[in-house]
Amino acid sequence: MIRIYGSPQSSAGRCYWALEEAEVPYEQVAVSFADKEHKSAEYLALNPNGKVPVFVDGDLVLWESIAINRYIAAAYRPGLLGEGVADQARVEQWSVWSQVDYQPPMIALFIQLVFVPEERRDQAKMDAAREKLAPLNRILDAHLAENGQMVGSEFTLGDLNVASVALLNSRVGVDLSGLPNLQRWLEKTLARPARLRVEALG
Which segments in the chain show pLDDT lower than 70? none
Nearest alpha carbon to residue 18 among 140, 177, 172, 163 = 163
Whether 73 and 20 have beta carbons less than 8 Å apart is answered as no
pLDDT of residue 13: 97
Looking at CATH, the fold of the domain delimited by 2-79 is given as: Glutaredoxin (3.40.30)
Which 3 state secondary structure label does DSSP give 5?
Answer: strand
Give the integer Cα–Cα distance in Å for 17 and 194: 6
Residue 4, Ramachandran bin (φ over 0: left; ψ between -120 and 50: alpha; else beta): beta
Give the integer Cα–Cα distance in Å for 78 and 23: 12
Please, which contacts does 190-197 make with residues 24 or more away whose CB atoms are closer than 8 Å? 190/163, 192/21, 192/155, 193/20, 194/17, 194/20, 194/21, 195/17, 195/20, 195/163, 197/20
Q: Domain segments of the chain: what residues?
A: 2-79, 82-192
pLDDT in tens, 79-131: 999 999 999 999 999 999 999 999 999 999 999 999 999 999 999 999 999 99
Looking at CATH, the fold of the domain delimited by 82-192 is given as: Glutathione S-transferase Yfyf (Class Pi); Chain A, domain 2 (1.20.1050)
pLDDT of residue 33: 87
A 10 A CB-CB count for 168 gives: 17
Q: Encode burial over 131-156: b for 16+ CB neighbours within 10 A, e otherwise.
A: ebbeebbeebbebbeeeebbbbeebb
Query: In which element (H, E) is residue 28 found?
Result: strand 26-29
